[in-house]
């Protein structure tokens, strides 16, 4: 068998003492992993190392302990390849110090003012394009600092992009971007900003065929337009007045340019600070789509990143598990032969939790129905989890059946219902609630949080590993150690890795 030369995992550093870090690294090694990607720059902007340059960014609970230094020791002891995992543009503390570095939407709002699925969005996305700004004042210096101080094998980009789950066309219209997009795209002549430079004659069949002399494309009143009207022009406007609505092309290219530029700038800083240090990245699976939606056309990064780890996660694919396996194969082959062919290596990023959507989704919906006192909805989801709950928690299964029998089951169960129910959690009102006993609520909550060994089907993980191994790439990376714990998959992974 081939294809699993590297077996990686996105993980925590493992604890707050050298022993804890050693034990964590050793446990991963025993399970067959030979590559660890411990998180060192977190989504709140704090860091898991002791920096002289940014001492105030050290995680609050470290008390002087240096997880990065401990990981270097553990790496030596266990012979583990170690990549330092950075969350790039998703921040909190940098925003609190420098709100001007944040991305802004057409109304001037930051991502922290958005709602996502009914909840307040808590992170602040920082603008990749501003100079000076977050990229050159904070992010690249953090990479440089880490590379100087710690003998890791690589640093690792994550969130190297614009936000995707929040209206991907709505960022960034910060003051800097509004000024720089027209300059960058040469939408006017800086020497003659008011001159229109219309073509002498429009003698060709297509209006757009008259583009070469660089006519001015910005509207006359650009300087007087408020932010949201400038944003509207950049998304919906036309290069030629009366022509096609093509202005968004420049908006998307600008975003791709600056994300690529960050990959380049950080690579130069890291390679200068520690010659030989490698760079890896977690990116979205399809760089063509990711270029359009999140500014992440990673086919352009291959000079600046050595190892490519697309997040081929189940939730980024359509359909059920069987469709996922086939679609995953199609995508990995495309990555291998085309999109990632200029990279030194390709590892498939695999999320453990999303594999169990068919099992966990109905269980969570059932728990919610119990909480809401909605036995009718509970009856719809119960058939989808009955076998597993009955096997592992027979007393709880009896209780649930007594509760749902208190109403006539009236729903057909399907994953579609599960999705509907989950998306309506915060709106759904139950007509005549029939509260579930506390023991059902706590039983289901505990089953969700800490399922017994064997509750989730190991075959889903095993078949996935086999499939990636057959694709003839360099290996895979699992997300994450916490999910090996939660879904009780340590032994499953160890046994399967041993076969490859
Ligand atoms: Zn901006």
pLDDT by residue, tens only, the chain of 500 residues: 456 999 999 999 999 999 999 999 999 999 999 999 999 999 999 999 999 999 999 999 999 999 999 999 999 999 999 999 999 999 999 999 999 999 999 999 999 999 988 889 989 999 999 999 999 999 999 999 999 999 999 999 999 999 988 888 999 999 999 999 999 999 999 999 889 999 999 999 999 999 999 999 999 999 999 999 999 999 999 999 999 999 999 999 999 999 999 999 999 999 999 999 999 999 999 999 999 999 999 999 999 999 999 999 999 999 999 999 999 999 999 999 999 999 999 999 999 999 999 999 999 999 998 998 888 888 888 989 999 999 999 999 999 999 888 765 455 556 666 666 665 554 556 666 788 999 999 999 999 999 999 999 999 999 999 999 999 999 999 999 999 999 999 999 999 999 99
Chain segment 6-29, per-residue pLDDT in tens = 999 999 999 999 999 999 999 999
Q: 6-167+255-356+459-498, which class in CATH?
A: alpha beta
Give the burial class of 438: count Cβ atoms within 10 A of its Cβ; 0-12 exposed, 13-18 middle, 19 or more buried. Answer: exposed
Measured in Å, residue 129 CA sits from the centre of ligand 1 at 6
Ligand 1: distance of its center to the CA of 225 in Å? Answer: 17
Question: 104 CA to middle of ligand 1, Å?
Answer: 7
Report CA(120)–ligand 1 centroid distance (Å).
22
- H or E element at residue 124: strand 124-125
Instruction: Give bridge partners of residue 347 from the DSSP assignment.
Output: 475
Ligand 1 centroid – CA 76 distance (Å) = 42
CB 282 within 8 A of CB 319: no
Beta-carbon neighbours within 5 Å of ion ligand 1: 127, 129, 172, 174, 177
Centre of ligand 1 to C-alpha 293, Å, is 16
414 Cα–ligand 1 center, Å: 43
CA distances 277 to 147, 153, 306, 424, Å, are: 8, 6, 10, 48
Whole-number pLDDT of residue 428: 53
Could you read off the pLDDT of 247-301 as tens digits, one per residue? 999 999 999 999 999 999 999 999 999 999 999 999 999 999 999 999 999 999 9
Cα(12)–Cα(25) distance, rounded to whole angstroms? Answer: 10
**pLDDT (0 to 100) of residue 374:** 86
Question: 172 C-alpha to center of ligand 1: Å?
Answer: 4
User: What are the domain boundaries of the chain?
Assistant: 6-167+255-356+459-498, 175-253, 357-449
pLDDT of residue 413: 54
Distance 197 CA to ligand 1 centre (A): 29
Q: Please tell me the distance between residue 240's alpha carbon and the centre of ligand 1 in angstroms.
A: 25
What's the gap in Å between 169 CA and the centre of ligand 1? 13
Q: Is 455 helix (H, G, I), strand (E, B) or coil?
A: coil
pLDDT of residue 1: 45
Q: Rounded to whole angstroms, how far apart are CA atoms 106 and 173?
A: 6
103 Cα to the center of ligand 1, angstroms: 5
Q: Report the separation in Å between the CA atom of 224 and the middle of ligand 1, taken as the mean of its atom positions.
A: 19
- Ligand 1 centre from 105 Cα, in Å? 9
Instruction: Report pLDDT for 165.
Output: 80
Q: Is-contact 287 298, C-beta < 8 A?
A: yes
CA 279 to ligand 1 center in whole angstroms: 26
Distance 128 CA to ligand 1 centre (A): 7
Ligand 1 centroid from CA 137, angstroms: 15
The sign one gets for the Cα dihedral 471, 474, 479, 481 is positive
Output the CA 177–ligand 1 centroid distance in Å.
4
Structure-token pair, residue 5: 């030369």
| CA-to-CA separations, 87 to 179, 328, 413, in angstroms, rounded | 27, 25, 39
Write the Ramachandran bin of 262: left for phi over 0, alpha for psi from -120 to 50, otherwise beta.
alpha
What is the rounded CA–CA span in Å between residue 478 and residue 499? 17
C-alpha 84 – ligand 1 centre gap (Å): 27
Residue 242 Cα to ligand 1 midpoint, Å, equals 28
Closest CA to 287 of 234, 343, 237: 343
- Measured in degrees and rounded to the nearest 5, phi and psi for residue 10 equal -75, 130
């Amino acid at each position: 068998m081939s294809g699993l030369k590297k077996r990686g995992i996105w993980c925590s550093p493992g604890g707050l003492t050298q022993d804890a870090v050693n034990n964590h690294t050793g446990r991963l090694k025993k399970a067959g992993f030979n590559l660890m990607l411990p998180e060192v720059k977190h989504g709140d902007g704090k860091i898991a190392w002791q920096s002289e340059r940014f001492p105030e960014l050290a995680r609050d609970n470290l008390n002087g302990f240096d997880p990065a230094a401990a990981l270097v020791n553990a790496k030596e002891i266990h012979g583990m390849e170690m990549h330092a995992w950075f969350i790039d543009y998703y921040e909190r503390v940098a925003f609190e110090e420098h709100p001007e570095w944040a991305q802004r939407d057409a109304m001037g709002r930051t991502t922290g003012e958005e709602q996502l699925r009914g909840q307040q969005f808590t992170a602040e996305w920082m603008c990749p394009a501003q100079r000076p700004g977050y990229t050159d004042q904070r992010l690249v210096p953090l990479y440089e600092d880490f590379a100087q101080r710690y003998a890791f094998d690589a640093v690792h980009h994550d969130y190297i992009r614009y936000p995707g789950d929040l209206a991907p066309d709505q960022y960034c219209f910060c003051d800097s971007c509004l000024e720089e997009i027209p300059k960058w795209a040469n939408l006017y002549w800086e020497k003659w900003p008011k001159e229109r430079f219309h073509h002498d004659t429009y003698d060709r069949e297509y209006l757009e065929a008259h583009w070469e002399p660089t006519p001015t494309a910005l509207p006359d009143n650009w300087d007087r337009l408020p932010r949201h009207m400038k944003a509207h022009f950049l998304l919906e406007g036309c290069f030629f007045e009366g022509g096609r609505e093509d202005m968004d092309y420049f908006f998307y290219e600008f975003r791709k340019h600056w994300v690529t530029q960050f990959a380049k700038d950080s690579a130069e800083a890291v390679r200068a600070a520690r010659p030989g240090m490698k760079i890896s990245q977690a990116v979205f699976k399809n760089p063509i789509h990711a270029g359009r939606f999140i500014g992440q056309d990673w086919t352009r990064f291959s000079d600046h990143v050595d190892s490519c780890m697309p997040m081929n996660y189940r939730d980024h694919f359509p359909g059920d598990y069987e469709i996922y396996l086939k679609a995953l194969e199609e995508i990995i082959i495309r990555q291998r032969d085309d999109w990632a062919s200029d990279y030194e290596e390709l590892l498939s990023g695999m999320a453990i939790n999303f594999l169990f959507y068919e099992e966990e989704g109905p269980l969570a919906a059932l728990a919610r129905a119990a909480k809401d006192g909605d036995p009718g909805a509970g009856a719809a989801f119960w058939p989808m989890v009955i076998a597993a709950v009955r096997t592992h928690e027979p007393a709880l299964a009896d209780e649930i059946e007594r509760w749902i029998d208190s109403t006539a089951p009236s729903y057909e169960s399907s994953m579609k219902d599960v999705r509907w129910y989950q998306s309506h959690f915060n709106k759904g009102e139950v007509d005549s609630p029939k509260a579930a006993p506390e023991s059902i609520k706590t039983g289901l909550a505990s089953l969700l949080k800490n399922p017994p060994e064997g509750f989730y089907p190991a075959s889903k993980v095993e078949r996935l590993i086999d499939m990636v191994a057959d694709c003839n790439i360099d290996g895979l990376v699992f997300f994450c150690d916490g999910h090996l714990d939660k879904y009780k998959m340590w032994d499953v992974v160890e046994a399967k890795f041993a076969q490859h």
